[in-house]
Each structure stands twice: as C-alpha cells, then as structure tokens.
Structure 1
Amino acid sequence: MVSSTRRALVEEIAGHDRLVEVGVGDRPGVARALAERGCRVVAVDVEPGDRTRAAAQETESEEVAGSLRVRRGDILALADGKSERDGDPLADPDDDADGRTAVGAVYACHLPAELQSPTVALADRLDAACAFTTLGFEEPVVPVRRRSVDGAVLYVARDGERGGPPPDPE
C-alpha cells in the first residue's frame, strides 16, 4: 500500500517518462506505481532491498506498461558523475541510440537532509525536475517550493519542462 504522501509524489511526477528514484531502499511503492502508469524508473540505492528487487522482477513478469530497474549506486558519486567511469548505474536498456534518454525527474521519499544537496545536484547534472519528501521532522536544506497535494507536503527543488529552479514564491 502506498501512503497518501507517496501517492501525492506519484501524482506530481507521473508525467515524466523516465525517472530516477534516489535511496529506494526496501520501499518500492512509488517506483512500482510509476511503472504501472507507464513510466520507466531506475531505482538507485547503496543497498537496494529484497522487496524492491522483487517488485522490479514482478514488473517484468506482469508486463507492466512501464519498467522498474534496480541499481546499486551512491548518490554522492552519481551527483558528480564519478560513478560513470565504472558503468552508468542510471543506464536503461531502452535508451536511445546514443545510450541515453533524457531523465525527466529525480525524486526521493523520506530524503534526509544530508542527501538533499547531492540529489538536487544529480537533477541539475541531468537537467531534470527534482521532487522529494523529507523524514517529516526535518525541513529542507536546499531551496524548494512547497506543494500541498491531498494534504501531503512535497518539496520541489527543480521543475518545469526540463528542470530549472522552482519559481520564487510570491
């Protein structure tokens, strides 16, 4: 079951074809919901959990409209591109002939303060939108626009057609 906060995150980013989830751990609900809506999701964590790996296998065997691929990767290395020298964990077999399809959004659930800056840096590097939820007791440490969706608070660090910083609040 996906919580109301996570459903709100799905609603916010489901319009993007290709997405990267940072710090998926063993919580594949958002990635799975996005794959079921036809999105191509690469879920990254330093140690992806068994439930997440199982969800990825289920999306293949159930012929879900999108895809869910699970990769090991460190957001600190991904943010500055260092991980690509050992192969790109964000690569998708369905990418275009150049080996890359533009990532539309980078997102995270329960993103701790210490990972917010590198997550936004990854979105900047990929020229992608960026949205996340926090652990609940922490305020964002990066510039964001707050969005309330169905009573849940989402933080948007980059939005627009190809990313870009959120507009200044008026």
Structure 2
Amino acid sequence: MGPLPPSERALVGALDPYDRLIEVGVGRRPAVARALADRGRDVVAFDVDVSEAARDTAAEAKESSGGSLRVVAADVTALAAAEDERAAWNALGLDAGGVDAMYARNLPAELQRPTVALAERLDADCLFTTLGFEEPVVDVSRRAAASGTVVYAAR
C-alpha cells in the first residue's frame, strides 16, 4: 500500500488519539483503516458491500500490524434506525462500549445524519471528511490540517 494522499493523512492524524475505531463506508479504499491498524489501533470497517480490496487488506493487516482490521457488511442507515441498540453492536461484531470513534472519508450529505446518529448510539466520537464540494448538513466543529484538508467533528 503506497503513501496516503494528504486528505487521508489528515484523517489518520485526527484519529490518532483513538484506540478502537469504526470506519463507515470503507468501499474499495481501505488505506485509512490499514494505516490505523498499522499504528496499533483496532478498526472495524464496514460498507453495504465489502470489496475484495478491503477483505484482502484486512487479511494482510492480521499478518503484519500491531492493531487489527476487520471488515463487515453493514448499512449505516439501517444500523442507525434499528430499534434494538444491540443490533448495531452485533452487526459490527463489537461488545457494548467497544468503540471510541467512528469516522468516514468523503461522507456524502445523505449519510451524515445516520452516521452521527449511529456514533451517538454507540457513544463514540464522530469525525469525517466530505466530498469537498459539500458542506456538512450536521452540526460540526472544523479541524483544519496543514494539507488544507478539513476534518469535521460531529460529537
């Protein structure tokens, strides 16, 4: 895995204080999750459809990093709307109280509310970057990185 682009480096830097993390919408780009696992963090990355790239990266991380990276198939909207809080924990393979922060790269406006709602449900901080041309649709504070990337904190 090559060097991270500036926006992803900024996100990894903002997430460095957290030990147990969840990535929303890992897609085909698991580099941030892998970088965090390589720093000794425990990461669960999920998406509606988990890519082979994410699965392969999780398998590689098991062999070489001090942290852990697991990928699971899950839908942030469904998890945020589930009536039973345990459903979210079970779907992500976590024990209650087992996460410090949730994050997302390039989080589109339509997924910001459910992502923040799920973070609140899991009592986790919530950080994300946007697609760049969109402003957040949830209340946030802004953390600007030297690269010019803005990481938004919703909790």
- Indicate the residue corresponding to 1:137 in structure 2: 133
TM-score by length of 1: 0.83
- Indicate the residue corresponding to 2:69 in structure 1: 68
Aligned to 1:130, what secondary structure does the other structure show? strand
Q: What is the rounded CA distance, in whole Å, between the counterparts of 1:149 and 1:85 in structure 2?
A: 35
Higher helix share: 2
Which AA in structure 2 matches 1:153? V
Aligned to 2:22, what secondary structure does the other structure show? strand
Residues 46-103 of structure 1 deviation map (CA, whole Å, 9 limit, x = unaligned): 01111111100001122x10000000000011113458559812224xxxxxx33431
Residues 23-61 of structure 1 deviation map (CA, whole Å, 9 limit, x = unaligned): 000110100000000110000100111111110000112
Q: Would you identify which runs of 4 or more consecutive aligned residues in structure 1 move more than 4 Å?
A: 82-87
Structure 1 residues 53, 82: closer, same or farther in 2, change over 3 A?
Answer: farther
Aligned to 2:91, what secondary structure does the other structure show? coil
- Indicate the residue corresponding to 1:157 in structure 2: 154
* Root mean square deviation, CA, Å: 1.7
- Indicate the residue corresponding to 1:7 in structure 2: 9
Identity %: 53
- Would you say the 8 A contact 2:26–2:47 is kept in 1? yes
Aligned to 1:33, what secondary structure does the other structure show? helix
Superposed, 1:1-170 pairs within 5 Å as 1-62=3-64, 64-81=65-82, 84-85=86-87, 88-92=90-94, 99-150=95-146, 151-158=148-155
Aligned to 2:8, what secondary structure does the other structure show? helix
For residue 15 of structure 1, report the CA deviation from its aligned partner: 1.3
Structure 2 unaligned blocks of 5 or more: none
Residues 8-35 of structure 1 deviation map (CA, whole Å, 9 limit, x = unaligned): 1111112111100000001101000000
Aligned to 1:111, what secondary structure does the other structure show? coil
Aligned to 2:10, what secondary structure does the other structure show? helix
